[in-house]
Structure formats: structure tokens, C-alpha cells
């Protein structure tokens, strides 16, 4: 990486709070990066290792996590939540997904370095004793789910009796994906930038109350009528959506086969979850996407269609707020997002491209290049306030190793110089604000093999501790690579 391409401003503004930091000011434009070309995944031979052995103190801390704990994203998704869930899963009896759909791609690795890209199946599936629950708040694409199960089984991961799907979860059909693409094309230059996996249209069907739920597959006598209503609604809305009797017959026949295969997986997961809690079993909730994509708190309308913040846990699983305890926020050591929408700390041009390739920032689900920028502490503090995180998992710290200096977005100001105290909901404000940066020294040392916090270079530890200081939440886990073992327990 050419670090000089990542400098934002040649004229530093002095920062009186510390001798270790300088303050830079810039006003990044909120434009999506456009990177042409394709990207192919490369298997990393260094991933062939066992799970990192945490210290005695770290084990005590993990074992001390609340009976119902959660792992949620702090930014715009793609922070690496799946890896932490996979590692923590052996300390929990149940791992549950509470919202989202197959747009949430979580990449995890087993002990042999084999890569698994999961989208609907919870990331605890590699731990043999873990029960995986897909809750009522998830929208389920059955062809995708069965594809994941087949892939896991073919690689020696048993799913029999280990995955439960809520009978209240809504079904996502192939036509929802087609509608998603038609909707994006209709929006033209104002497109949301969805994964085109049909998530939004499936939630739309749910909210306008003509959706079809998993439990409806048990009543195939009425299923055709319900599906016809959905298809006619799509045809009436989009002139390019082609629907006829033959399409309906084919879909009904397909879902008859799906219903038979899915039956062993269907459960009243609200009952399962609450019985598990009453039996003192430990539950880990795996969030999809992240707070800045929340339908209420994110950069609306450039958001997902569910609630990936803490509130989605209760509504997506049917459990009481009082039982939810520790929540771990997962945050990348820099910031990325996909699709359109404001991105205050985005690095445009060559600098963003270099960070993108250094961090292999291409979507698990779509392969799309992600937009890259510096860590935005205003957005992170906003996320911490909403979710009440007890600790943070800082991921991909190793990606920053080549840089001579690293920028932290620490505050916002309006164009007239007025301080903006929190992450604003007004997109016009977001598009014009100025970000103030602290600049910390880099460490220019490969840290991918470091497993103890005290062995990190001093500059790397300063970076971690400055984040803790500014957001007021401790960092307990630090990712320094994609493998299971590449984790530092702090």
C-alpha cells in the first residue's frame, strides 16, 4: 500500500489535548466509489490453525457474559461479526439470528482453514453442540437456506436437529428478488444500493400484511391462493413483472417439495427461546447488518429493512428486554459501507482503492467493492449509545499496519462551524458537514501473528486505547486476520 495516498490534508491544525495527536479537517463528499473489474477469493494458507487459546482472564470474562448476550454491528455492516459469534459459540447453548435475510453474509473458518460463507444459518453451526435458531424476525429464502445446509453437510458439518426455523418467520420468494431489482432500476440515480436479494420487498409484504409465513407451508390447501395474491400485487405494481397461471403452478409445486423438506426444521421458536432461558441455557444472539443501517436509526433511506440494533433482538426472537444482558459491538478498525448513502469519513480515489484491496473489502454476498474510509467515532459513539454495548470487538487492525499515520474522525462541524454533537438524521446535514480528525502515529509492523495485547506495537495499543477513551466502551477483542486463531483477547 502507498500510505501517502491516504493523507487527507497537508495542513494540520494543532490539537491541544495530547502531544501524540494532530488534528486534520476535511469535508469528504458523500459519493459512492466506483471500482471496475472483478474479484476472486483466494484461500489463505495461514488460516490452518486451531482456535486461539484465550488467557485465563479472557476465559473468565467470556464465561461471565450474561445468559442472553448479543453480537451486533456498529457501522454499516461487514465488520466481521460471524467470526466472533463462531468463537464465542462454544460457550453458549443456543445461537440465534433475530432479523435480516440472506443479504447478511458472515464469513467464518473452521480449524482446517476451510471458508464458509453463511447468509441465513447462524454462525454457531461449526460448533457441534450448538443449537442454531432462525427467529421470527428473519425473512427466509428457502432455496438459499437449503443451499447453505447442503454445502455444510457436504463439508462434514451436521445440520440434522441443529437448526430450527421459526414458524412465524416470513418467506422470501424468488419474485421478491426480481421486484428488488425492478425497484432499484426505477429509482435510477437515487437507488438504495441493495443486494437485490429481495429483503426489502419481503419485509414490505410482511408489513402490508399479505406476506406468507413459514407456518403457512403446513397448509398447502390455502397456500396457492395466498401466493397468487402476492404475485398479482407485484404484477400490478411493476409492468415488467410477468405473471401468469403457469408461473403460479410451478411455484406451488416447488413449495410443496420445500414444505416437505423444511418440516423437520420448523418450530415455535418463541417457545424454544423462552424455555431455553428458563432452563438457564446460555443464548448468543447474532445480529445481521449493523446500527447505521437500522430502519429507524441509520442513514435513511439508505438502510436495510429491519432493526439490526438492540431493539431487534426482542422483537425478532420473542424474548423480554429484561433477559437481554451483555451486548458486544463489532467495529472495523476503519469504516466501510456498500451501496449509496452518506459516508462522512470516506476516502475517495486512489487512497480508498488501496485500503479496499489491503482489507479485501468485497461483499460476501455480492462481491461488490465496498466504499472505504477512516474510523468514524461520531457514528461509533452514536451506535454505542443506542445499543448500550458492554464491550467492543475491534476487527481488521492488521489492515492498517502499513500506514505511517492513521486518522480518527473524532467530531463533526456544520459548514458554519457549529459543532454537531451526535450523528444527524438529516441527510442534507450529513452531506455538507466537516469531519475533524485526530492523526495518530502508525506502527509499520506486521501484527497478523500477534496474539497477546502487550506484544502489539506501542502505536497500535495507543490507537486501541484512544478509541476506548473517546467512546467510553472497552475493547475486549481485537481481530488481526480472518482465521479463527487471529484474535487478541484484551
Name the binding residues for IMP.
78-81, 103-106, 195, 209, 289, 304, 368
CATH of domain 3-42+331-489: 3.90.170.10
* C-alpha triplet 435, 436, 441: angle, nearest 5°: 125
| Locus of grid cell 486505547 | 465
Exposed/middle/buried for 448, CB within 10 Å: 0-12, 13-18, 19+?
A: middle
Task: Measure CA of the first residue to CA of the last residue in the chain; give whole Å.
Answer: 28
- The pLDDT, as a whole number, for residue 8 is 41
Residues 6+ apart with CB under 8 A from 219: none
pLDDT at 53: 61
Confidence at residue 33, expressed as pLDDT on a 0 to 100 scale: 33
CA 424 to CA 433: how far, in whole Å? Answer: 10
Strands (E), 36-162: 68-73, 94-97, 106-109, 115-118, 131-134, 139-140
Q: What was the pLDDT predicted at 364?
A: 64
Residue 40 has a pLDDT of 31
Residue whose C-alpha is closest to residue 89's, from 52, 125, 115, 140:
125
User: Are the C-beta atoms of residues 339 and 301 closer than 8 Å to each other?
Assistant: no
Name, in order, each residue with C-beta under 8 angstroms of 379's C-beta and a sequence gap of 6 or more.
74, 75, 292, 335, 344, 423
Tell me the binding residues.
77-83, 103-107, 195, 209, 289, 304, 364-370, 396-398, 479-481
The pLDDT score that the predictor gives to residue 4 is 40
For the domain with range 171-262, which CATH number is right: 1.10.300.10, 1.10.3720.10, 1.20.210.10, 3.40.50.720? 1.10.300.10
- pLDDT of 104: 59
CB 252, CB 217: distance < 8 Å: no
The CATH code for residues 55-169+265-328 is 3.40.440.10
> Helix or strand or coil: residue 253?
helix
pLDDT for the residue numbered 425: 95
Spell out the domain ranges in the chain: 3-42+331-489, 55-169+265-328, 171-262
Binding residues for GTP: 77-83, 105-107, 370, 396-398, 479-481
Instruction: Please give the full DSSP string across 133-167, using - where no structure is assigned.
Output: EE-TTBEE-HHHHHHHHHHHHHTT---TTTEEEET
Q: Give the pLDDT of residue 99.
A: 96
Q: Is 408 helix (H, G, I), strand (E, B) or coil?
A: strand
Task: State whether the Cα torsion 440-444-450-455 is positive or negative.
Answer: negative
Please give the Cα distance from 375 to 361 (Å, whole number): 15
Dist. CA 482–CA 360, nearest whole Å = 10
**pLDDT at site 26:** 39
- Tens of pLDDT, residue by residue over 207-253, are 999 999 999 999 999 999 999 999 998 888 887 788 888 889 999 99
The string of pLDDT tens digits covering residues 308-324 is 999 999 999 999 999 99
Which ranges of 188-326 does DSSP label H, i.e. alpha helix?
199-207, 223-237, 245-262, 269-278, 311-317
In the beta sheet, which residues pair with residue 68? 283, 324
Phi, psi values for residue 334, rounded to 5°: -135, -165
Q: Which DSSP symbol is given to 26?
A: E
User: How many residues are present in the chain?
Assistant: 490
Task: Return binding residues for Mg(2+).
Answer: 78, 105
Joined together, the cell numbers standing for residue 300 give: 435513511
Q: At what angle do helices 223-237 and 174-187 cross, to 10 degrees?
A: 10
Give the whole-angstrom CA distance, residue 458 versus residue 435.
Answer: 26
Coil/strand/helix, residue 410: strand
What is the chain's pLDDT, residue by residue, as a tens digit (490 residues)?
444 444 443 333 333 333 333 443 333 333 333 222 322 333 333 333 344 566 777 788 899 999 999 999 999 999 999 899 999 999 999 999 999 998 656 778 887 778 888 899 999 999 999 999 999 999 999 999 999 999 999 999 999 999 999 999 999 999 998 888 777 776 655 666 566 788 989 999 999 999 999 999 999 999 999 999 999 988 888 877 888 888 899 999 999 999 999 999 999 999 999 999 999 999 999 999 999 999 999 999 999 999 999 999 999 999 999 999 999 999 999 999 988 899 999 999 888 888 999 999 987 666 789 999 999 999 999 999 999 999 999 999 999 998 989 999 999 999 999 999 999 999 999 999 999 999 999 999 999 999 999 999 999 999 999 999 999 999 999 999 988 889 999 9
Catalytic residue ranges: 78, 106, 206
Instruction: State the helix-helix crossing angle for 199-207 and 174-187, rounded to 10 degrees.
Output: 100
At residue 30, the pLDDT reads 33
Amino acid at each position: 500500500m502507498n500510505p501517502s495516498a491516504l493523507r487527507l490534508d497537508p495542513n494540520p491544525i494543532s490539537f491541544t489535548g495530547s502531544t501524540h495527536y494532530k488534528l486534520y479537517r476535511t469535508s469528504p463528499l458523500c459519493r459512492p466509489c466506483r471500482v471496475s473489474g472483478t474479484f476472486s477469493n483466494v484461500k489463505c494458507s495461514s488460516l490452518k490453525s486451531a482456535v486461539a487459546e484465550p488467557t485465563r482472564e479472557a476465559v473468565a470474562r467470556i464465561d461471565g457474559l450474561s445468559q442472553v448476550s448479543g453480537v451486533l454491528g456498529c457501522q454499516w455492516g461487514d465488520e466481521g461479526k460471524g467470526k466472533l459469534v463462531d468463537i464465542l459459540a462454544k460457550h453458549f447453548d443456543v445461537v440465534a439470528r433475530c432479523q435480516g435475510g440472506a443479504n447478511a453474509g458472515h464469513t467464518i473458518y473452521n480449524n482446517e482453514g476451510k471458508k464458509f460463507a453463511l447468509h441465513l444459518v447462524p454462525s454457531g453451526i461449526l460448533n457441534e453442540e450448538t443449537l442454531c435458531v432462525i427467529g421470527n424476525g428473519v425473512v427466509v429464502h428457502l432455496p438459499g437456506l437449503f443451499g447453505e445446509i447442503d454445502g455444510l453437510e457436504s463439508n462434514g458439518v451436521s445440520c440434522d436437529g441443529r437448526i430450527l426455523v421459526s414458524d412465524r418467520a416470513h418467506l422470501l420468494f424468488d419474485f421478491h428478488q426480481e421486484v428488488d431489482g425492478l425497484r432499484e432500476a426505477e429509482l435510477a440515480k437515487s437507488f438504495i444500493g441493495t443486494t437485490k436479494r429481495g429483503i426489502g420487498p419481503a419485509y414490505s409484504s410482511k408489513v402490508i400484511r399479505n406476506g406468507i409465513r413459514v407456518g403457512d407451508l403446513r397448509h398447502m390447501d390455502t397456500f396457492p391462493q395466498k401466493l397468487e395474491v402476492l404475485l398479482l400485487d407485484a404484477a400490478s405494481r411493476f409492468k415488467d413483472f410477468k405473471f401468469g397461471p403457469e408461473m403460479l403452478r410451478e411455484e406451488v409445486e416447488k413449495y410443496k417439495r420445500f414444505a416437505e423438506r423444511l418440516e423437520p426444521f420448523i418450530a415455535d421458536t418463541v417457545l424454544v427461546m423462552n424455555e431455553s432461558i428458563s432452563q438457564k441455557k446460555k443464548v448468543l444472539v447474532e445480529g445481521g447488518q449493523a446500527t447505521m443501517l437500522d430502519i429507524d436509526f441509520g442513514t435513511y433511506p439508505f438502510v436495510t429493512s429491519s432493526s439490526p440494533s438492540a431493539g431487534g433482538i426482542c422483537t425478532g426472537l420473542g424474548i423480554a428486554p429484561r433477559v437481554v444482558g451483555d451486548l458486544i459491538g463489532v467495529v472495523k478498525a476503519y469504516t466501510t459501507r456498500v451501496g449509496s448513502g452518506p459516508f462522512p469519513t470516506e476516502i475517495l480515489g486512489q487512497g480508498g482503492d488501496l485500503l479496499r484491496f489491503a482489507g479485501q473489502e468485497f461483499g460476501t454476498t455480492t462481491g461488490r467493492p465496498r466504499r472505504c474510509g477512516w474510523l468514524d467515532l461520531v457514528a461509533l459513539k452514536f451506535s454505542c449509545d443506542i445499543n448500550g454495548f458492554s464491550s467492543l470487538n475491534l476487527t481488521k487492525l492488521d489492515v492498517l499496519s502499513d500506514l505511517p499515520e492513521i486518522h480518527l474522525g473524532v467530531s463533526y462541524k456544520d459548514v458554519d462551524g457549529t459543532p454537531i454533537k451526535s450523528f444527524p438524521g438529516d441527510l442534507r446535514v450529513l452531506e455538507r458537514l466537516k469531519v475533524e480528525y485526530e492523526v495518530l502515529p502508525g506502527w509499520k509492523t506486521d501484527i497478523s501473528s500477534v496474539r497477546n495485547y502487550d506484544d502489539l506495537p506501542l502505536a497500535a495499543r495507543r490507537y486501541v486505547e484512544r478509541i476506548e477513551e473517546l467512546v467510553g466502551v472497552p475493547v475486549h477483542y481485537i481481530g488481526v486476520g480472518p482465521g479463527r486463531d487471529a484474535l487478541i483477547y484484551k
